[in-house]
């Protein structure tokens, strides 16, 4: 059976065996028991630890399961399924624990839409959680800047809070295909920053202009949610990049919080490949 991934060494198609992927040139990649295949070429990275660490991934999984980002999950799912048709290939780039991907797959099934889903993340620990969340997503550890995916083979891309390698995304996406790009706006989690920083700052909002793509729509989603205890606050803090950039004094301030009302501020942008 043919895999939807291609060989990261030579670019050839991969055939899927019981526990292995192989290409016609003899390159082979074991399928881990935990549900993913490692297509990350180690020599292309100087860092032995790829992606988010286990503590951050666990915190993000547990926080997302609390439901505070459910409005974003629903908005993203609606954006994907608005342009999806039966048999489409969906590729989530920077899929993490597959919280959003799995939600799309479950809702698509309810609507009678069959999607072939792929997920790529540089963190193998995140993919282990992703495989547990939804077994119908084909998962690979790989870099989004060097995708083990064939040209013009994908109908829809999801890109949630991850870097956007526009040229590489355009290579694998079919003409007229859609990219759902989600990123934080300026007010996102500002109250958390006020609690931990002496001089809090708003997020820099990216310039959403990607070569080879046309912006079709952009929805801003802003709401307030309240964390009820220190454990919830710690999970949110741990899943953000702020945790490792914060001084010991700032971390102590976060640890002293017993409740926190915070702003969620997202953009859900839909692009079409030209």
Average of per-residue pLDDT values in the chain: 93
Residues whose CB falls within 8 Å of the CB of residue 258, separated by 6 or more in sequence, listed in order: 229, 230
In angstroms, rounded to a whole number, what is the distance separating the alpha carbons of residues 231 and 255?
9
- Say if residues 214 and 271 touch (Cβ distance below 8 Å): yes
Min mean pLDDT across 38-47, 59-68, 175-184 is at: 38-47
Residue 18, pLDDT score? 86
For residues 32-57, average pLDDT: 76
The number of distinct structural domains making up the chain is: 1
Tokens of 67: 């439901």
| Residue 22 counted as domain residue | no
pLDDT at 46 over 60: no
Edge-to-edge strand list for the sheet holding 28-30 = 2-6, 13-16, 20-23, 28-30
In angstroms, rounded to a whole number, what is the distance separating the alpha carbons of residues 207 and 82?
24
For residues 149-166, average pLDDT: 95
| Residue 2 counted as domain residue | no
Tokens of 5: 């991934």
- The pair phi, psi for residue 253, each rounded to 5°, is -65, -45
Grade residue 49 by pLDDT with cuts at 50, 70 and 90.
Answer: very low
Residue pLDDT, tens place only, 78-100: 999 999 999 999 999 999 999 99
Q: Which residue segment(s) compose the domain that 215 sits in?
A: 32-273
CATH number at residue 211: 3.40.50.150
For residues 235-249, average pLDDT: 92
pLDDT at 226 over 90: yes
pLDDT at 109 over 80: yes
Grade residue 207 by pLDDT with cuts at 50, 70 and 90.
Answer: low
């Amino acid at each position: 059976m043919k895999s939807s991934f291609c060989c990261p060494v030579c670019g050839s198609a991969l055939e899927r065996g019981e526990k292995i992927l192989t290409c016609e040139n003899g390159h082979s990649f074991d399928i881990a028991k935990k549900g993913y295949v490692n297509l990350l070429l180690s020599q292309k990275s100087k860092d032995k630890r790829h992606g988010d660490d286990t503590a951050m991934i666990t915190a993000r999984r547990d926080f997302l399961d609390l439901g505070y980002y459910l409005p974003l999950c629903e908005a993203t799912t609606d954006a994907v399924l608005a342009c999806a048709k039966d048999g489409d290939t969906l590729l989530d780039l920077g899929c993490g624990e597959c919280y959003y991907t799995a939600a799309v797959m479950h809702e698509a099934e309810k609507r009678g839409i069959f999607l072939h889903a792929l997920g790529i993340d540089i963190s193998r620990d995140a993919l282990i959680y992703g495989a547990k969340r939804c077994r119908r997503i084909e998962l690979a550890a790989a870099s989004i800047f060097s995708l083990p995916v064939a040209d013009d083979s994908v109908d829809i891309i999801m890109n949630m809070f991850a870097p956007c390698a526009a040229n590489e995304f355009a290579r694998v996406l079919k003409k007229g295909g859609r990219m759902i790009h989600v990123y934080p706006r300026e007010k996102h989690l500002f109250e958390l920053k006020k609690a931990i920083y002496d001089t809090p700052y708003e997020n820099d909002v990216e310039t959403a202009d990607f070569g080879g793509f046309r912006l079709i729509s952009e929805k801003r989603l802003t709401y307030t949610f309240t964390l009820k205890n220190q454990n919830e606050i710690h999970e949110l803090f741990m899943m953000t990049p702020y945790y490792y950039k914060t001084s010991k004094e700032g971390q102590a301030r976060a640890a002293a919080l017993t409740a926190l009302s915070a702003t969620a501020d997202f953009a859900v942008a839909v692009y079409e490949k030209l």
